[in-house]
Amino acid sequence: MQTLPAKLELKTADLFERTSLDKLAEWITKGHAAIGSGVRRMAVDVAQIGAWLVAAKSKLAHGEWLPWLAENCREVHENTARSYMRTYREAERNPQLIVDLTPTQAYKKLGIVKADGKSARKKEREEAEDAAVEEVATENPDIVCADFRAYLKTCTADAIVTDPPYPKEYLPLYGDLAKLAKRFSVVAIMCGQSYLPQIMAHMDEHLDYCWTFAYLTPGGQAVQLWDRQVLTFWKPVLVFGKLSEWAGDVVKSPVNANEKEDHKWGQSVGGMQDLIRRITTPGQTICDPFMGGGTTAVAAVTTGRRIVGCDIDAQCVATTQRRLAECGVGDG
């Protein structure tokens, strides 16, 4: 992404003369995506996008700008666009302002952080999630009683998010899962630490390793691993494939969220929601081939993701379907 010179010599009048609306829309969209992903956050980059938006608005008749923005820069919310433009105009009046400020100071001073403390980008994500939750609620999730080795051969989804059994006798399942997961963009596998080297060996043979996220399980009662003499407050989430956006690698479960009433190995809904939000986007489809008590399913639909999956235990499938119905999903 190109940036403005320190003195902001690039004027909208110049852009008006030599740049088409289509080209401006392309620059605005790409610049906004770079800032939203965290790749660039300098105030001068925000001002540059604002300059492009001002130039685009100057080329349109009264009342045409908002429809044009919605049609051509769909990822840029109206409030965000106005913040970009306000930053540019402020920079024109006082160029040294954004050169001297740190990114955080610039965001606060120039109005990119709103009065309620939420960034425009975060607001956009929340709005997209809310809309996706309503849409997902009208659909019937594909939750079946089946062995994952058969189910994954025909399953269609954007990502796998799952929590297979941890005991040693289940280690071969990780290799079988990896073989069948090659065609999914992102695969996130929660696992224990006791056999982590063996699990990695099984998975790495078939999938491209991306990162290990730390899933925190804070609370007064840690899991006690007697054979290792360890009290553990976290577990690994092995991520394979390629993330579509930047993501922090620490996932947080609510304190003392020991939600075992639906399955003895169950995770907290809040923790799985945090994980899902970090590696997928609203409207995408998540597959859980080890459905268990349905926590991943509930976390998916309550964050606006579709869910598909299976379990070999018919009772687990029934529990998952019940929990989804309690969320208002599955009656469409």
Kindly list the averaged pLDDT for each block of 10 residues, start to end, along the chain of length 332.
44 67 88 60 72 88 88 84 80 66 53 48 76 84 94 95 94 96 95 94 94 85 81 93 91 71 71 94 95 93 94 95 86 50
Q: What is the structure's pLDDT at 97?
A: 61
User: What phi and psi, each to the nearest 5 degrees, are found at residue 306?
Assistant: -80, 155
What domains are defined for the chain? 12-110 (no CATH), 135-326 (3.40.50.150)
Burial of 156 (0-12, 13-18, 19+ CB in 10 A): exposed
Tokens representing residue 251 in the block: 């996932």
The model's pTM: 0.65
Instruction: For residue 218, give the amino acid letter.
Output: P
How far the first Cα of the chain sits from its last, in Å, is 44
Give pLDDT, residue 14. 62
Q: How many residues does the chain have?
A: 332
Q: Which residues neighbour 14 within 8 Å (Cβ) at sequence distance 6 or greater?
A: none
Q: What contacts 102, CB < 8 A, 6 or more positions away?
A: none
DSSP assignment string, 60-89: S-TT-HHHHHHHH-TTS-HHHHHHHHHHHH
> Which whole-number Å values give the CA distances from 62 to 80, 154, 269, in the listed order?
20, 51, 48
Environment class of 244 (CB within 10 Å of its CB; exposed 0-12, middle 13-18, buried 19+): middle
pLDDT of residue 4: 42
